[in-house]
Chain A
Amino acid sequence: MTDLALGRTAADRDRLLRLLQNYGVYLGVAVLLLVNIAFTPHFLSGENFRTQAVQVAPVLVVALGMALAIGSEGVDLSVGSVMALSTSLVSLYLGYGMWVALIVALLGGMVVGLANGSLIAFIGVQPIVATLALMVAGRGLALVLLPQLKDVRDPTMASLGSGDLLGIPYLVLIATALALLVAFVVRRTTFGRQLLAIGDSRPAALLAGLPVRRVLITVYVVCGALAALAGVLATARLSASDPTSLGNLMELSAITAVVVGGTPLSGGRVRIGGTVAGAVLIQLLTATLIKHDLPPSWTQIAQAVVIVLAVCAARERGKR
């Protein structure tokens, strides 16, 4: 009788914990929204929502690529440097028109992704190390191309950065469309299923005859392309190319968004909805602390605490 009762409470706690892990990030966003609505003056304005959403967009685009890398039991540390590289390339090629600049920037990101993917898939270097090398070299390369901050004066770029469609900023539309696309790819395509299988167990995927190398390389190429696109979007929003600081610590924010959103670092699972909510959560957290005049140092400490809590939660799930 007591055993049964105990079993039930354990099962209940289990279910509660799982619910919290799966939907905790949404709960966090809701709590932060409520706190802000109650205590932050002028929070409930269209203007404020717009600002917050536009700031989330580039982080989310990077985080989508990161979610794929983490789903394949990898990680991409070079995304911040790819953003810097992309902003340099955009500035250099803007003279030939915005589309040329965009394509060159995307190609740059894809080349970096190809290098990362080849090191990981063919040579068998750990993802952290492989992408670490390009994290160092990428920012150097960006600075070689464009040694200092440069204003970007291009009408098309300006309208991409600040324009909107039916009141929704382009940046938000693009990020949302990409999130839907990535979610579709992960859930409904063969590629998505192969990716998750590889993340679950690479040896098993190899034995099952999956094209492991091709999938892994694709993952890092896509991740690089998305980071490069985020670099273009950030450049458009800021109307300036700043290879020294653009994308600094971006790998951290992206990993946090993905992990907080419930994607386990051990791979085999990708939660895009959670990733979106994770990116929003971090943005709201930062905005809340800043709006209430708490120093930036608190933001970093708060972010660190959120990371550790999220990873602790993910670990519990892995163990069961």
Chain B
Amino acid sequence: MTIDTKSPADPVDHTAQEEQAAGPSRSERLSALAQQHGALVTLIVAVAAASVGFDTFMTADNMENMAVSSAFLAVVALGMTFVIVTGGIDLSVGSLFALGGVLAAWGSRYGTAVALLLPLAVCGLIGLVNGLLIARARLAPFIVTLAAMLAARGILLSVTDEGSKTYLVDKDSFFATLGQGKVLGVGAPVWITVALFVAGAVVLRRTRFGQYVYAVGGNEDAAALMGAPVARTKIAVYTVSGLCAGLAGALNAAWLVSGVTILGSGMELEAISAVVIGGTLLTGGFGFISGSLVGVLLLKVIQNVINQIGSLDSAYQQVVSGAFLAVVVVAQTWLGRRRRVL
């Protein structure tokens, strides 16, 4: 946090008396609530507005489509949430997503196990290297994962003959059903994603590892003094992020029944946006898994609405999500400042 004690615009001023009271004051609780559920409220409003505005929005087809296309980004955002809660960032997930997809499509000819394990192994390994460089060599996460983003894209290009080769997945294989199959009318990727989010939430909220993740993000030195394994926690979160990105890529390849090389660029930004919109603080130490899911859905609803307005260029999508991210970050910074002890 920046040291900025004399900001005249600081909203703390008029609530100063309340702040002095013991325990969280009403305004504190309100801002915490806004931080936690602001995205959910916005999502509900957006869905309500869209279903009133467009007849085609609330159809089962459109809903299913949105759910499945959200699933892949959601899995990437799940891993990203762990990284951001530790106060780090992972820019390599877009490349790892594409790499995972291509490796899965290539591996699918040797069976489902290879199709899943190969991308998990390679992307997990790259995530592990990220974590080692960040935690042990103490390099900036931003630079390390930027380099990994380049390197993973390079590996992807060399696996596919400089991007000219597309590997196809056999449509009748079990691997393809992981992407294409449906359970109770809902696509398999959606179920897998839901299961992963439940597991992720339990890990972050209910395990010792989850506590370490929060502790490291809150204050690294304090966490170290407390006896938390700071380096190991960091290595683990980047590995998890790599695994999630690789798995999302593999599922996406199963859904598209091919490994498409050009996917994933800009995905790191979408994932970061979703996590931030979901209420997780980029400074670390505060955030939740469910928020990231809401963030992904909100981004996808916005995309869907823009696509439905036929006359609107898809370029507006980028403008809207960028502006949205800016608004959320500004709001977060203000709310965070309100709760900060000066």
Contact = CB atoms under 8 A, between A and B. Distances in A.
Nearest to B331: A123
B269 A136 contact: yes
Contacts of B137: 312, 315
B154 A128 contact: no
B276 A129 contact: yes
B318 A303 contact: no
B269 A144 contact: no
A197 to B, nearest CB: 15
Give 3 nearest A-B pairs by CB, closest first: A137-B322, A140-B318, A297-B157
Contacts of B315: 140-144, 147
Given A122-B9, A133-B325, A135-B269, 8 more contacts: A75-B142, A124-B1, A133-B323, A144-B316, A297-B157, A301-B154, A304-B150, A305-B147
B150 A300 contact: yes
Interface of B: 1-4, 9, 89, 133, 137-140, 142-144, 146-148, 150-151, 153-158, 162, 266, 269, 272-273, 276, 282-283, 313, 315-323, 325-326, 329-330, 333-334, 337
Nearest to B160: A297
A126 interface: yes
Contact of A265 (B140, B153, B276): B140
Contacts of B142: 75, 128
Contacts of A136: 266, 269, 273, 318, 321-322, 325
A308 B139 contact: yes
- Scoring B144, B326, B333 by chain A CB atoms within 10 A of each residue's CB, the highest score goes to B326
Contacts of B162: 295-297
A132 B325 contact: yes
Interface string A242-280: 000000000010010001000001000000000000000
A137 B157 contact: no
8 contacts: A125-B330, A128-B89, A133-B326, A136-B321, A141-B315, A300-B153, A301-B155, A305-B151
B319 to A, nearest CB: 4
A301 B150 CA distance: 6
A140 B133 contact: no
Nearest to B318: A140
B133 A308 contact: yes
A311 B329 contact: no
A232 B17 CA distance: 54
A224 to B, nearest CB: 15
B157 A296 contact: yes
Contacts of A311: 139-140, 143-144
A177 B334 CA distance: 42
Nearest to B327: A133
A129 B140 CA distance: 15
A298 B158 contact: yes
A29 interface: no
B318 A132 contact: no
A159 B166 CA distance: 42
B271 to A, nearest CB: 12
A140 B316 contact: yes
